[in-house]
Amino acid sequence: MAVIVDAEAPITLLGGGAFDPADLAAALARGPRLVAVDGGADAALALGHRPEAVIGDFDSVSSAAQAALGPHRLHRVDEQESTDFEKCLARVSAPLVIGVGFLGARADHSLAAFNALVRWPHPCILLTAWDVVFHAGRGLRLDLAAGTRLSLFPMRPVTGVSEGLHWPIEGLHFAPDGRIGTSNRACGGPVRLSFDGPGMLAITPRAALDAVAAALMAG
């Protein structure tokens, strides 16, 4: 599958869901190249931004936005086996993707975005006004201040070990229909997580955005 956007630095994806303009500003400060996911093109233009590419099945991007951006920025993908978010993740290459406008409007869209986070290998953060959501993969090291919330939500059965968490996770069997790890917290200093496989989503407060970005880019 052809790469449409190839970047050596973080990029920002803008979806068509609800978001605070401050979320987009925070993402662009860290990933200044902007890619719109379908109807996100309208939201970008309304705020004075011109995405370098629009990717999706074009069921929600307006004809006015398409005309304003021109055909060279429009990349229509007609298949219906994936969401527009997945279509975009499959066609961008970057060390980190920061997604805005994917959470908070519709529950089914939010769940689909969480599903995509664990199915695609891109390091990706979904940003809201309150939270940072990301796939922890097989593990990572986070530099979090003491007391920082770190919730763990499994998208498939997974076990792991931790250092630096108030409630260690060793010996626990996580599953979407079983044990989850809501509202754990950092003891201060590095938090190290290691899992027996992919599938664990992690959620931290918005203030931890830079710490999460650094951790994901470190691999």
> What domains appear along the chain, each with residue ranges and CATH number?
5-129 (3.40.50.10240), 139-205 (2.60.120.320)
The mean pLDDT of 122-126, rounded to a whole number, is 93
Q: How many CA atoms lie within 13 A of 154 on its CB side?
A: 21
**In what helix (H) or strand (E) does residue 168 lie, and over which residues does it extend?**
none
100, 23 contact by CB (below 8 A) = yes
What are the φ and ψ backbone dihedral angles of 42, each rounded to 5 degrees?
-65, -45
pLDDT for the residue numbered 120: 85
The mean pLDDT of 98-112, rounded to a whole number, is 88
For the chain, where are the E strands, in sequence order? 5-6, 11-14, 33-37, 53-56, 74-76, 92-93, 97-100, 124-127, 131-135, 139-144, 149-154, 158-163, 173-174, 181-185, 189-195, 200-205
Question: Residue 1 above 80 pLDDT?
Answer: no
More confident site: 79 or 8: 8
pLDDT for the residue numbered 59: 87
Query: Model's pTM, two decimal places?
Result: 0.94
pLDDT digit string (tens) for 13-46?
999 888 999 999 999 999 999 999 999 999 999 9
The mean pLDDT of 165-173, rounded to a whole number, is 97
Question: Residue 105 above 80 pLDDT?
Answer: no
What are the residues facing 113 on neighbouring strands?
Answer: none
